[in-house]
Amino acid sequence: MSALSSSALSPSASSPSDLSPSDLSPSDLQNSHYEQACDQAIAMCDGNMRSTIKALIMANEYLETELHELQAAISSGCMPKSLSKNLSEGLSKGLSPSLSNSLPDEASPGATGSAA
């Protein structure tokens, strides 16, 4: 059963894309996003469902491989430059390593975050 609200099931609104954002709940908007993504994936495969599923499986396998490679690199001590920069800046400010990982890239010494 669809997660659409009762207003979305009225005869005047044939699909979630016909509704204005104010007529949709957050879950309806998310569902609409997934419906559009499905339509786009199917269209990219010329309407062939088997090709669409195959392409999505291949994309998922690629992303899983990337994830495993990144996890292996991180566990061996490698980290992205921006994270390394934030970590060294945080340590120089006296923050613990766990707190310094959350520093934004634009963090600068002496920045207090107060409004001017």
Q: For the segment 51-84, what is each residue's pLDDT rounded down to a tens digit?
A: 999 999 999 999 999 999 999 998 988 876 776 6
Mean pLDDT of the chain: 72
Distance of CA 24 to the CA centre of its chain: 21
CA distances from 39 to 43, 46, 88 (A): 6, 11, 45
Every domain of the chain and the residues it spans: 25-100
Helix axes 26-44, 49-75, angle to 10 degrees: 110
* Vertex 104: Cα angle to 109 and 70 (nearest 5): 130
Q: What are phi and psi of 88, to 5 degrees?
A: -70, -35
Give pLDDT tens digits for 15-60.
545 556 566 677 777 788 999 999 999 999 999 999 999 999 999 9
Quick one: DSSP state of residue 15? S
Whole-model pTM: value is 0.46
The residue assigned the tokens 């309407």 is 47
